[in-house]
Amino acid sequence: MKNLAIVSSLFIGITPSYLLAGEGKPYFTASIGGSQVGDIDVTGIDSDIEFDSGSSFDIGIGYDFGKTRLEGTYQRHQTDGASWLGFDIDTDVVSDSFLGTIYRDFRDEKLWSPFIGASLGSSSVEIDNESESSITYGFAWGIAYETSPTTDIFFKAHTIVFNQLDYSALEVSDANATSATIGMKFTF
């Protein structure tokens, strides 16, 4: 919760005031799907650590200003295996992220609405029970379909980058995870 409060404060602080002055509607969102943790370069060795595909979900709340939305979400990526130098590695990788995202919708009074977004937040990445935290940033894009005036279903791809992770046996910079999820947005 502390991370969510910090990210929310930073996010609202950098949001242009004209976005916050207009009328809008609060909403709840949730999605589930697959994810892929990006390969990790190993310094001095000509082979990357490659992760198996895994699962992802997110849940959050937001505020819709019309063409612009602000959203705070909790997002999780998870995978159970990797390979390196031709060997399979039985490893658990779990990332828990608290993100603030600003979205731009391109609806124009139509049922279909493409969207893009930029995220900033904080993540905790656990590899085999050793956890490290990092500032996180990312980019999202997708398309939503309005099923009713209060409900959208959507497809979303979201890539987040973990700035710096320092484990006891490994230092990782600019690691990433990409999710492809299907979800729903409910406007109050």
Give pLDDT tens digits for 123-149: 998 887 889 999 999 999 999 999 999
The model's pTM: 0.81
Sign, Cα dihedral of 49, 32, 184, 122: negative
Where do the structural domains in the chain lie, given as residue ranges?
2-12+24-187
Following CA atoms 66, 68, 70, 75 in sequence, which dihedral angle do they give, to the nearest 10 degrees? 110
CATH 2.40.160.20 applies to domain 2-12+24-187: yes
Confidence of residue 114 (pLDDT cuts 50, 70, 90): very high
Q: List the beta bridge partners of residue 158.
A: 140, 179
User: DSSP secondary-structure letter at 5?
Assistant: H
Judged against a pLDDT cut of 50, whether residue 185 lies above it is answered with yes
d(CA 164, CA 136): 9
Looking from the CA of 172 toward its CB, the CA atoms found within 13 Å total 25
Residue-wise pLDDT for 44-58, tens only, equals 667 777 888 999 999
**Residue whose tokens read 């310094």:** 43
Mapped onto helix, strand or coil, the DSSP state of residue 10 is helix
Predicted confidence band at 13 (pLDDT cuts at 50, 70, 90)?
Answer: low
Please give the biggest Cα pair distance in the chain.
Answer: 56
